[in-house]
């Protein structure tokens, strides 16, 4: 009888051990993955800003810049931030826009591409600071989810910023 109790106790311990050693936690059935929380605009901005040297020297543009140069109404975005170099002769500039919906992303991208073209063809004065032109010529517009970013910087900074942007908005 004593051996029966020991065997029963060992069997019960084995069953408990096997039940707790499964591959998935209880309730984690196929297809019941918790959806990833949406990324915030501030998180996107901070990730990109952290890749830009001297980001603290870039200043926010006013709504008038957005209206007059980028040709956009600030009310057309869930959020946006555009910063430009104000201290030196550098043309470094970064803009991130969050569309109000997935349906509006294409129009935001088009707006950014039009701005970059306008900057290159209408605003740029080649007599001034010609060594900065490659930054504008190679400026990049990147779309990920509801976010659109453009960046006018040197190659290394642009590559780092684009990588950070794409990684956080996946």
**13 versus 53: which is more confidently predicted?**
53
**88 versus 78: which is more confidently predicted?**
78
Q: What is the pLDDT of residue 56?
A: 85
Q: What is the pLDDT of residue 35?
A: 67
Per-residue pLDDT band for 1 (boundaries 50, 70, 90) equals low
Q: What is the pLDDT of residue 17?
A: 45
Stretch 156-169: mean pLDDT, rounded? 97
Q: What is the pLDDT of residue 7?
A: 44
Share of the chain above pLDDT 90, in %: 62
Residue 131 to residue 8: CA distance in whole angstroms: 83
């Amino acid at each position: 009888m004593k051996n029966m109790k020991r065997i029963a106790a060992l069997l019960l311990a084995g069953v408990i051990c096997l039940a707790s050693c499964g591959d998935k936690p209880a309730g984690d059935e196929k297809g019941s993955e918790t959806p990833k929380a949406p990324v915030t605009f501030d998180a996107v901005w901070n990730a990109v800003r952290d890749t830009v040297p001297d980001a603290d020297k870039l200043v926010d543009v006013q709504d008038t810049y957005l209206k007059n140069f980028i040709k956009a109404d600030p009310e057309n975005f869930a959020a946006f931030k555009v910063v430009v170099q104000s201290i030196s002769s550098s043309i470094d500039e970064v803009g991130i826009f969050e569309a109000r919906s997935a349906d509006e992303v294409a129009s935001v991208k088009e707006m950014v591409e039009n701005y970059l073209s306008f900057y290159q063809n209408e605003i740029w004065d080649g007599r001034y600071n010609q060594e900065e032109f490659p930054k504008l010529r190679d400026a990049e517009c990147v779309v990920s989810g509801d976010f659109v970013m453009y960046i006018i910087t040197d190659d290394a900074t642009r590559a780092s910023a684009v990588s950070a942007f794409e990684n956080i908005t996946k």
